[in-house]
Amino acid sequence: MTELTELTAVQLVDGYRKGEFSPVDAVRATLERAERIQPAVNAFVLPHALDSARAERFPPAAHEALARAAESADRWRRGEPAGLLDGVPVTVKDIILQRGRPTLRGSKAVDPQGAWGEDAPSVARLREHGAVFIGRTTTPEFGWKGVTDSPLTGVTRNPYDTSRTAGGSSGGSAAAVALGAGPLSLGTDGGGSVRIPAGFCGIFALKPTYGRVPLYPASAFGTLAHVGPMTRDAADAALAMDVISGPDARDWSGLGPVGGSFTQALAGGVRGLRVAYSPSLGGQVAVRPEVASAVRRAVQGLAGLGAYVSEADPDLTDPVDAFHVLWFSGAARVTQHFGPQQREVLDPGLREICGIGARFSALDYLAAVDVRMDLGRRMGRFHESYDVLVTPTLPITAFEAGAEVPAGSGLRRWTGWTPFTYPFNMTQQPAATVPVGVDGDGLPVGMQVVAARHRDDLVLRVAHALYEAGVAGIGAPTEV
């Protein structure tokens, strides 16, 4: 029988319904897997590990997870599941509030002795639907960069090669999902932070339309910041979106009720869809040949499924300078009230960009907003002609762990190697990464699918068609 840790959330729920196994079995197996992978990849902040040989020494969090699993098993026996994810093991990035667990945000400057009495909206919805929380996943400090290492938790590593980075800022979530420590994780994405690590770690991730998944407390990075699911495939992400979408009174910028089910919208395939394939954003990005080849093969797969594929570039120039104004200002706002002792323990790179951000004026910020609005206008017009835009998720595969940029690249900041991701935080569009192959070193390659604002269903539908056709998905990493 397939190991429980290899099953998707959809498969777990189906197994619970049929009585083939119980949530206790799945949660126990997931806790054991989390404990086993932690020394190699460092995916968890406070691993809720389970030592089956020493039951009396189970950590309290593992006791709690197993207790919730037992409650779920009882509900399934009665035929009364609490919701769509009842008994499914999930993890939550250490940026998102979770009741009863410290949210340290990867920082030694955060006091773990806080009250921690409130769930973020997405976590609250998961709890209402019976999901079982098994761990908090690692992040760079305050999610500031595209790799995952911090003064608090150290370096998070890639499941396919532990000498390489898992990407970031939701790197712990990506590594956990890739290695079977829960089929679903909640991540955040302000410039690529679910898509970058998912691309590097060979899993699926969706950055929904801004506001589709409510966020509280509001991010210091403003409306760049999205919450999204990180999963093994698009069907699991759609199921998660059916749970975590919808309004929450605490998020004044959130969208209204969802018009239908994301899961039901997966059907229909891609026949007749107008797909724009932009291999390099009009020659602006130098893409590694093995990455370009893998993405091109996947695009050919879309054409084979009946999509109308054209090579076409959106009308945009790299908005990195405007993005930096918004991003660095947000970082400065995060740390604005820190005293000297707190600043001393910050990641040096974060401390540097905070200093830059603090020197921008209100006029600098508003000029960056103007760039953003114009970019959004241009992408809105682009999607009058094309249903989806397809690009590489990243121009490279995973590089050495513990570095912000690849050695010898001459780059200064993480935005230098993520030119396909942050523009779509500027525009608030839904964007997903789909694993479509590996390079010569066996490292995953991702393809990005982007749609117009509010068309999350279309992104998921295209990705699901690729999984159904065997175009998406790569082999699981060798056990670490």
User: pLDDT value at position 53?
Assistant: 37
**Is 254 part of a structural domain of the chain?**
yes
| 169 is a catalytic site residue | yes
pLDDT at 57 > cutoff 80: no
Mean pLDDT lowest for which of 2-6, 153-157, 372-376? Answer: 2-6
| 93 is a catalytic site residue | yes
67 Cβ neighbours under 8 A, 6+ residues apart: none
pLDDT at 61 > cutoff 90: no
User: pLDDT value at position 114?
Assistant: 83
CB 450 within 8 A of CB 426: no
Catalytic-labelled residue, pool 173, 193, 245, 329: 193
Q: What is the CATH number of the domain that holds 170?
A: 3.90.1300.10
Model pLDDT for residues 233-278, shown as the tens digit of each residue? 999 999 999 999 989 999 999 999 999 999 999 999 999 999 999 9
User: pLDDT value at position 59?
Assistant: 55
pLDDT at 55 > cutoff 60: no
User: pLDDT value at position 119?
Assistant: 98
Confidence category of residue 54, pLDDT binned at 50, 70, 90? very low
User: pLDDT value at position 248?
Assistant: 97
Distance CA 407, CA 401 (A): 10
Cα 300 to its chain centre, rounded Å, is 26
% of the chain residues with pLDDT over 90? 93
Confidence category of residue 478, pLDDT binned at 50, 70, 90? confident
Tell me which residue has tokens 């002792």.
341
Q: What angle do CA 455, 456, 461 make, to 5 degrees?
A: 100
Number of residues in the chain: 480
**Is 363 part of a structural domain of the chain?**
no
- State pTM to two decimals: 0.96
**Is 300 part of a structural domain of the chain?**
no
**Is 280 part of a structural domain of the chain?**
no
User: pLDDT value at position 300?
Assistant: 98
Catalytic-labelled residue, pool 22, 72, 93, 245: 93
Mean pLDDT of 62-75: 96
Confidence category of residue 99, pLDDT binned at 50, 70, 90? very high
**Is 188 part of a structural domain of the chain?**
yes
**Is 318 part of a structural domain of the chain?**
no
User: pLDDT value at position 480?
Assistant: 77
Confidence category of residue 51, pLDDT binned at 50, 70, 90? very low
Mean pLDDT of 202-207: 98
**Is 328 part of a structural domain of the chain?**
no
Catalytic-labelled residue, pool 122, 150, 169, 219: 169
CB 302 within 8 A of CB 390: yes
User: pLDDT value at position 479?
Assistant: 64
Question: Strand pairing partners for 392?
Answer: 447
Calculate helix-pair angle for 121-128, 234-244, nearest 10 degrees.
100
**Is 385 part of a structural domain of the chain?**
no
Number of domains within the chain: 1
Environment class of 348 (CB within 10 Å of its CB; exposed 0-12, middle 13-18, buried 19+): exposed
User: pLDDT value at position 49?
Assistant: 41
CB 86 within 8 A of CB 75: yes
The parent domain of residue 28 ranges over 4-269+400-468
AA letter at 456: D
Output the average pLDDT for the chain.
95
pLDDT at 410 > cutoff 50: yes
Model pLDDT for residues 14-48, shown as the tens digit of each residue? 999 999 999 999 999 999 999 999 999 999 996 44
Confidence category of residue 115, pLDDT binned at 50, 70, 90? confident
User: pLDDT value at position 52?
Assistant: 40
